[in-house]
Amino acid sequence: MSSDIHLENKVAIVTGASRGIGEAIAKSFARNGAKVVLAARKLEGLERVRDEIQGAGGKALAVACHAGEPDQIDALVARTIKEFGQVDVLVNNAATNPYFGPMMNLEWAAWDKTFDVNVKGYFAATRAVAKHLMERKAHGSIVNMASVVGFMGSPLQGIYAMTKAAIVSMTKTMAMELGSAGIRVNCIAPGVIDTRFASALTTNEEIMATVKARNAFSRIGSPEEVAGAALYLASDAASYTTGHTLVVDGGWTVSL
């Protein structure tokens, strides 16, 4: 297998691609040769990212898809195959965190929404792409976005953290089950990244002081720094890497 990090002749689906980490991953993949299918609930944001990728000479398709609805995920994979003939890489990045507060005060609607998008959606997309790859007898790479909060007690983010712990577990099991088909399944666990999604953390001075005090670089990360990890795991350079969770947190969890 090639040790070069590129995605030439690959087709990649990136969920949650309208902003933040998903946008950075999609643009990185396109710069490195992939045809990229951008997915998120709202088409408007995706079209902006698509236009920017195409303006830079890349190839991209925008598809509205609710990541918590398995039927829409199946339609996303089918649309990708219709437009580009195949899927080689899947990045499960779309996520939601509608509740920020003590677990004791959680309402079931927030529980259902969080698990539907963050767990069921990842599983549904992984299964749909894996079935396609097995039918093609093709190797492929699936990259799941978890979080360092899945490894630790996470007051105020308890339900979100539970879903991310579930993704780490799913990644390991799917890696074992799909390895014989040449399908790699890996995970990225970012720390605090400067995105709108993380604004409940990044706008809280007390939380940021704690994060930066424990961080080896004394700063939070950028979406582009996560995108680099996704590019490696998606590429053939990582051909002997599966079931792994790559932590991208500036050293925040080193002392755990």
pLDDT, tens digit (0-9, with 9 covering 90-100), for 31-43: 999 999 999 999 9
pLDDT of residue 206: 75
Residue 179 lies in a domain: yes
Residue 217 lies in a domain: no
Residue 60 lies in a domain: yes
Residue 2 lies in a domain: no
Q: How far apart are the first and last CA of the chain?
A: 35
Say yes or no to pLDDT of 117 above 70: yes
pLDDT of residue 49: 97
Options 99, 122, 160, 240, the catalytic residue: 160
- What are the CA-CA distances from residue 117 to residues 73, 197, 215, 255 (Å)? 11, 14, 29, 30
Each residue of 225-242: pLDDT tens digit?
A: 999 999 999 999 999 999
pLDDT of residue 118: 97
Strand runs (DSSP E) across the chain, as ranges? Answer: 11-15, 35-40, 59-64, 89-92, 140-145, 183-190, 245-248
φ, ψ of residue 24 to 5 degrees: the values are -65, -40
Q: Establish whether 160 is a catalytic residue.
A: yes
Residue 202 lies in a domain: no
Give the residue, 206 or 147, on which the prediction is more confident: 147
Mean pLDDT of 57-61: 97
Per the prediction, the chain carries an average pLDDT of 94
Residue 115 lies in a domain: yes
- CATH of residue 125's domain is 3.40.50.720
Give CA–CA dist 132/84, Å, rounded. 13
pLDDT of residue 23: 97
pLDDT of residue 197: 66
Domain count, the chain: 1
Domain that holds residue 119: 11-194+223-241
Give CA–CA dist 41/44, Å, rounded. 9
Residue 252 lies in a domain: no
Residue 180 lies in a domain: yes
Mean pLDDT of 204-233: 87
Give percent of the chain above pLDDT 70. Answer: 96
